[in-house]
Amino acid sequence: MKEWVQSLSNYRFKRGQYSQSYQDELLDIIFKLIQPVNSPPFCVEFGFDSMSLTHGNGANTSRLIIHHGWSSLLLDGGTGNPEINLHSHFLTSANICSIFQQYNVPSEPEYISIDVDSVDLWLFRAVLSKYRAMVFSVEYNCHFPLDAAVTFPDNPDEHWEGDRGYGASLRALTLVAEEHGYCLLWVVPKVDAFFIRKDLIDDGTDKIVFPFGRWRTATNRQIHPPLKNPERAGLFINYERTQLGSSNDVPSRSTAYDTATTYLVNNGDFETQLNKFRRLPANVVRRLKRLF
């Protein structure tokens, strides 16, 4: 493992200037240590839901654009502002690459951020079929446990309803990345998984990133309310079956259904973990619940 990758464990990250958590600080560190290929460097972010670079729900690219002078393309399903190169497009796995071509995204951009609360995995996979960004970040669904490879369907008619039913598990996204020569570099808990192209950190060993198990505490976290409609647990797909060519068949859905029900409708392993603390005072247990 390269020294700078190992050193990420020693950083005491602070909340970013613009991002939802410390994503922009993490990006500053990464791009001080790997050499951009474009001049100026190029970043893409979707969905970017604000008319301004400095407002909204926390943009990952704003610091790169404002403080480092990066070129950018910003995309969102319902927001547009040409002054900041933000364009309104309803993104699907079928149109994303043509939209990139429309706005002259280079074949090797430095960074792409994906956060659309639904078909994130499918957009990620579609972009990887034609573009070789140095670094990607993709929002992951932190409600799923570490070993679950589950994803929202590739269906543009399905949307996030403000509950636990969105996106893909960390493992499912990591499988997509590995299929295309990327590896999991870091996880910003509850929000984003960062993937880096393997050739950028290959040091000739078989351990170029942290073991996947390191990220267990970033999963099985309950941050949104349960599915408003429990039947929507049946939408989710087992991505490992998709790798075998069966993305929308009955088995790929049925094998994901129990997992989706356990973690998106019920409270997953959380109650089991709380049982370990059943002898603690009630006020301590309440504090633990708030943490999770």
Q: At 80, which CATH number? A: 3.40.50
Q: Give the residue-averaged pLDDT of 98-121.
A: 97
| pLDDT-above-70 percentage for the chain | 89
Q: How far is CA 279 from CA 273, 283, 292, in A?
A: 12, 11, 19
pLDDT at 277: 47
**Average pLDDT over every residue of 79-83:** 93
pLDDT at 272: 45
The parent domain of residue 41 ranges over 3-291
Considering its fold, how many domains does the chain have in total?
1
How large is the greatest C-alpha to C-alpha distance in the chain, in angstroms? 61
CB 112 within 8 A of CB 138: no
CA torsion 174-180-182-183 (nearest 10°) is 30
Q: What is the pTM of this model?
A: 0.90
